[in-house]
Amino acid sequence: ENELSSYVLPNGFPVRDNEGGDTYRIKKCLGQGGFGISYLAEIDNDWAEEGQEVVLKEYVARGFRGQESVRDENYRVSLTFGSLEDVTSESNTFVYLVKFIEEGQVMRAFRKYRGSRIRSASEVFMNSRTNTCYYVMDYFPKGTLEDELHERGELSEVEAIERIMIPLARALKTM
């Protein structure tokens, strides 16, 4: 078992929007960073296409400026701090929780460019069972642009402009 395993939600775990929105069922962990864990999840609703997959990003602070998230046996996340200074500083976890939520909201602005492979968020929500926040992003099963470039080599100038620069400029214009 690796160091991350105590933080990761188990496969099959349901995560639901507190407002009665969508339910997502965890399929596997895709990776983690200092502020969160990304999962491959399946939308588990009557209206969704069967097997429709998304990326579910969960806010779980790990070892950043004295902050550490702890997940208990009921999968609830709570926060610990290395010192009183960590709790009272401007860099405390609540500042970064707000930044995580803002990141998800900014990514929602990119939603209208879904076909361009610009990663966007469709939903940002809190879950009371796990006591943390999530946002939902499109899942690209073929991998990232970096994966594609590694596999096939460079894009021509025209391809780079049409596939990257124009969609990116349009998306940034909305901000």
Is residue 2 predicted with pLDDT exceeding 50?
A: no
Q: How confident is the model at residue 39 (pLDDT cuts 50, 70, 90)?
A: very high
- Give the 3-state DSSP-derived string for the chain, with helices as H, strands as E and coil as C: CCHHHHCCCCCCCEEECCCCCCEEEEEEEEEECCCEEEEEEEECCCCCCCCCEEEEEEECCEEECCEEEEECCCCCEEEEECCHHHHHCCCCHHHHHHHHHHHHHHHHHHHHHHHHCCCCEEEEEEECCCCEEEEEEECCCCCCHHHHHHHHCCCCHHHHHHHHHHHHHHHHHCC
Mean pLDDT of the chain: 76
Across the range 7-34, mean pLDDT stands at: 85
Across the range 76-88, mean pLDDT stands at: 60
